[in-house]
Copies of this chain bind each other. A is one copy, B any other.
Amino acid sequence: MSIRIFQTIAELRTALQTERMAGRSIGFVPTMGALHAGHARLIETSARECDITIVSVFVNPTQFNVQSDFDRYPRTLETDVSLSESAGAAIVFAPSDKEMYPEPLDAHVDVDRLTEHLCGAFRPGHFRGVATVVLKLLNIVQPSRAYFGEKDAQQLAVIRRLVADLNVPVEISAVPTVREADGLAMSSRNRRLPAEERRIAPLLYEALLGVKKALLEGENDAQNAKKVAFSVLKNAPIRVEYLEIVDSRDLQPVQKINVPVLIAIAAWLGDTRLIDNLTYTP
């Protein structure tokens, strides 16, 4: 059977109710479209672990804190549907803005503490938008499992916390970051990069690897470890927004590396903002 596409919540729910009543497990991959090999990995994982996989494609306006970023975000529904089908999805849910937000919401979800640092500190309102739309989508799809990429580490932590705190009946699965051959983390925003910026973009990953290597070799001071990254990046036309080493559990910055940590970076190449991260356990 070929992939089905739904644009309304009512149609999707009707279709899923049939699956649920038949006792089938439902895997869910929420996306903003512009699908790449990283998304394919999420969909393939879901298709392997669940009876039926739903991919949502929705460029959520409420999580963009800069209007031009929303306007410029790539929209490629046709190829997204093809990729979803090839990766094993049974349904694509592609609602309009009006379907998801028939009027401005009064209700919204915040996740404190985990959103104080990293992207949360630089993108006001972003994680409120993410948490709220993900909760809406989980309520619409009611999946057994939902799949998120480790590349968006803070988003993953926020959603895990949201699900735990609010008793959302879903299992959250994390899928490792997929990288290009030169190490650059897959991202829908990569396709915006001009050739010269694309050439230097892998430096973000190299900088993170440099920090991790220092930690593996015994450095246990966060400031010293971070210096390695800055030396990797120092001559490149890259503006670092943040480079942080945070406790993996609560995403609070650490001075001494004596707990599992996340090494995370956000940086601007021209007018494109990229993020990446690695984990390290002492």
User: 1/0 per position for A149-166, CB-CB distance to B under 8 A?
Assistant: 000000000000110011
State whether A139 touches B161 (Cβ < 8 A): no
Choose among B136, B142, B167 the residue that contacts A136 (Cβ–Cβ < 8 A).
B167
Kindly state the separation between the CA atoms of A166 and B107 in the bound complex, as whole angstroms. Answer: 7
Kindly state the separation between the CA atoms of A95 and B121 in the bound complex, as whole angstroms. Answer: 36
Q: How many interface residues does A have (CB within 8 Å)? A: 26
Choose among B106, B131, B161, B167 the residue that contacts A112 (Cβ–Cβ < 8 A).
B106
**From A135, which residue of chain B is reached at the shortest CB distance?**
B166
CB-CB under 8 A for A108 and B105, given A139-B169, A166-B132, A166-B139: no
- A111 located at the interface, meaning its Cβ lies under 8 Å from any Cβ of chain B in the complex: yes
User: 1/0 per position for A103-125, CB-CB distance to B under 8 A?
Assistant: 00111111111100000000000
Q: Shortest CB–CB separation between residue A3 and chain B, in angstroms?
A: 23
State whether B166 touches A136 (Cβ < 8 A): yes
State whether B165 touches A9 (Cβ < 8 A): no
Q: Shortest CB–CB separation between residue A22 and chain B, in angstroms?
A: 12
State whether A108 touches B110 (Cβ < 8 A): yes
- A236 located at the interface, meaning its Cβ lies under 8 Å from any Cβ of chain B in the complex: no
Choose among B13, B131, B165 the residue that contacts A105 (Cβ–Cβ < 8 A).
B165
- A140 located at the interface, meaning its Cβ lies under 8 Å from any Cβ of chain B in the complex: yes
Contacts of A142 in B (CB 8 A): 169
State whether A107 touches B109 (Cβ < 8 A): yes
Q: Shortest CB–CB separation between residue A167 and chain B, in angstroms?
A: 4
CB-CB under 8 A for A162 and B107, given A140-B167, A169-B142: yes
CB-CB under 8 A for A107 and B106, given A140-B167, A166-B132, A166-B139: no
